[in-house]
Amino acid sequence: MSPFDYICLAAGLVAAVAAIGFTLYYHTKTKKILNRASKMIDDAISGSFTESVFDESLLSSVESKLAQYLSSCSVSSKNLAEEKDKIKELIADISHQTKTPISNILIYAQLLCEQDLPEGSAQQAAALSEQAQKLSFLIEALVKTSRLETGIITLAPKLSELQPLMDAVETQIMPKARAKNIALKVCDTFEKACFDPKWTAEAVYNIADNAVKYTPRGGIVELSVTAFELFCKIDIKDSGIGIPEDEQPKIFTRFYRSPHVAGSEGVGIGLYLARKIVSGEGGYIKVSSAPDKGSIFSVFLPKEP
Ligand code: ADP
């Protein structure tokens, strides 16, 4: 090798060592910044994030932007939590403050109805009583939905047998079915699913109540359970008035009532609440229906948490 070759070799070695050194330095610095960024995100998730000062390098400016972003996120989540607390208080106030006046209106309306009133007044007293009951039901349902939405009430799904749920719904719905001479069939089941018994009973009851309400006298309402691999399905089938296809997506929205049911009582919140409950448990509700052909509402409940 000539002296020139040695010089080139030495220069190459120096360049290689410098490159390795630079790469190692850069790698360590990047790793440190990534670790800091990861810690910032962890702190933001746990709610203990505080912004710190960074140097002027490009990586540090990315770090600083991430810090600003996380800082604004933590402020808005704090504001959100405060807003949520205010809503919770408001709901509690509405629920508490309306309870006594509404029960008083109900009692006085009932007392009026029991009086020997002239015909016109008797009708007005009956209408007053009916409207007061509607108002009471509406406020109760709205408070329930808001409590579910704001997390004041949390669903506690657990693996449970479906038979007690079916029995509870049957007991609740039977008087209304009998009053309309509707045949109520509830099939036995040994299946289990993962659900909150109290709230799911309310959801299934709301659907079964509709089935009885929107089925003419002498009709049939049937409740049955089918198990699939991941879900158990509760079918609530009726021989009632049915629902046109274009209305089917709307019936689960708050306060929606079909123009075809204007003559029957209701406020349009039952299905909204039912869907809220079932989806909060990881399930879903499907409907299959046609006008004058009856309806099948299927409640799918997960078999595992
Ligand atoms: P409500 O029954 O108080 O009106 P819901 O939220 O329970 O409110 O139902 C919304 C609408 O869906 C009802 O007004 C009705 O038009 C329709 N609906 C629900 N269930 C049935 C059913 N089984 N048969 C026919 N229509 C139904």
Report the pocket of ligand 1 as residue ranges, CB < 6 Å: 206, 210-211, 214, 238, 240-243, 251, 256-258, 261, 266-272, 295
Average pLDDT over residues 113-123: 86
Minimal-distance CA residue to ligand 1 atom 20: 210
Neighbours of 258 (CB within 10 A): 16
Q: What is the pLDDT of residues 169-208, one digit of tens each?
A: 999 999 999 999 999 999 999 999 999 999 999 999 999 9
Q: What is the pLDDT of residues 67-89, one digit of tens each?
A: 788 878 877 878 888 888 888 78
- Three-state DSSP string of 186-215: ECCCCCEEEECHHHHHHHHHHHHHHHHHCC
For residue 298, the model assigns a pLDDT of 98
Tokens for 269, please give them: 């919140």
CA of 207 relative to ligand 1 center, distance in Å: 8
CA of 166 relative to ligand 1 center, distance in Å: 20
Q: What ranges do the domains of the chain cover? A: 158-302
Confidence label for 225 from pLDDT (cuts 50, 70 and 90): very high
Cβ-proximal residues to 164 (8 Å cutoff; 6+ apart), any chain = 197
Ligand 1: nearest atom to the Cα of 258: 16
Cβ atoms 301, 232 nearer than 8 A: yes
For residue 57, the model assigns a pLDDT of 63
Residues 29 and 146: their CA atoms lie apart, in Å, by 49
CA of 263 relative to ligand 1 center, distance in Å: 12
CA of 295 relative to ligand 1 center, distance in Å: 11
Confidence label for 54 from pLDDT (cuts 50, 70 and 90): low
For residue 42, the model assigns a pLDDT of 81
Average pLDDT over residues 51-69: 70
If one residue of 138, 202, 214, 265 were mutated to test the ligand 1 pocket, choosing by the most ligand atoms within 8 A of its CB, it would be 214
CA of 261 relative to ligand 1 center, distance in Å: 8
Minimal-distance CA residue to ligand 1 atom 3: 266
Average pLDDT over residues 284-303: 97
Confidence label for 295 from pLDDT (cuts 50, 70 and 90): very high
Confidence label for 30 from pLDDT (cuts 50, 70 and 90): confident
Residue 231, pLDDT above cutoff 60: yes
The conformation of residue 239, written as its DSSP 8-state character, comes to -
CA of 58 relative to ligand 1 center, distance in Å: 60
Average pLDDT over residues 19-46: 82
Minimal-distance CA residue to ligand 1 atom 7: 270
CA of 268 relative to ligand 1 center, distance in Å: 7
- For 158-302, which CATH class? alpha beta
Q: Beta strand 220-227 with 183-186: parallel, antiparallel or unpaired?
A: parallel
For residue 190, the model assigns a pLDDT of 96
Cβ atoms 216, 249 nearer than 8 A: no
| Predicted TM-score of the model (pTM) | 0.72
For residue 253, the model assigns a pLDDT of 93
Ligand 1: nearest atom to the Cα of 272: 6
Number of H helices, E strands in the chain: 6, 7
Minimal-distance CA residue to ligand 1 atom 13: 257
For residue 98, the model assigns a pLDDT of 87
Confidence label for 55 from pLDDT (cuts 50, 70 and 90): low
Q: What is the pLDDT of residues 121-169, one digit of tens each?
A: 888 988 898 888 888 888 888 888 888 877 777 889 999 999 999 999 9
